[in-house]
Amino acid sequence: MSDPLPTPAPVVEPAAAALMSRRFRGYLPVAVDVETGGFNVTTDALLEISVVLIDMDNEGMLRRGASHDFHVKPFDGARLDPASLAVTGIDPWHPLRPALPERDALQRVFREVRHAVRAYTCRRAIVVGHNAAFDLACINAAVGRAEVKRNPFHPFSCFDTATLAGAALGQTVLAKAILVAGLEWDAESAHSARYDAERCADLFCLVCNRLRDSHRGADERARALGWLSDAAEMSGDEPDSELPPL
């Protein structure tokens, strides 16, 4: 698990920050995985949350960054489906499980994400997940229950690696996509939020790096059409710039 103390904000080269802030329209991709007590985000417990930061070098290549993950105490009245617990292997009431209340866990995770967003001069983070809509829905439901006011993630947009892998690799199952991409997969570690988030981050980086030339060409055409300029990209003129503050 992550150290409960705050970690230093990442040090990012100005050239890398400039590239990252343009690559995804001012949004910083952050891989997320959650483990839960079921599939109903409103009634079922959030048991583990992991975020994996995604870094960029001065050449515009993405790579997996730091991981931050926390066990979470079931909220009052939360449902725990025995079938889900059997898959994850989580014992929510184990005396040695270092679990935090939802609000505390979310605030610690969000703090790390906000550090990275600012280091890359982005406006906000965006969830990267395998079937990402579920992870984002879990976060949003927990944010509502815990009354957390400063959520760094875009409230409804996300990058789904199941879709990306299906298009780029012909596989939508995370384990199969990882293997056909030439990466390693440890079946014994699967269904750990941290492991799945790290593999998801690796997959996202691999696909995006292979599309780097495509992005550069599209970026040049967008500039030629007058859609983009260095001054306008972060000016807040886009429709979703009215999102709540970080």
Which residues are catalytically annotated? 191
Half-sphere exposure of 208 (CA within 13 A, CB side): 22
Q: Which of 142, 51, 53 is nearest to 104 (CA)?
A: 142
Please, are residues 74 and 45 in contact by the beta-carbon 8 Å criterion? yes
Q: How many residues does the chain have?
A: 246
| Bridge partners (DSSP) listed for residue 28 | 125
Four-CA torsion 185, 68, 34, 180, nearest 10 degrees = -20
Q: Which residues contact 241 (CB under 8 A, 6 or more apart)?
A: 123
- Burial degree of 14 (CB within 10 A; 0-12, 13-18, 19+): exposed
51 backbone dihedrals φ, ψ, rounded to 5°: -125, 140
| Bridge partners (DSSP) listed for residue 172 | none
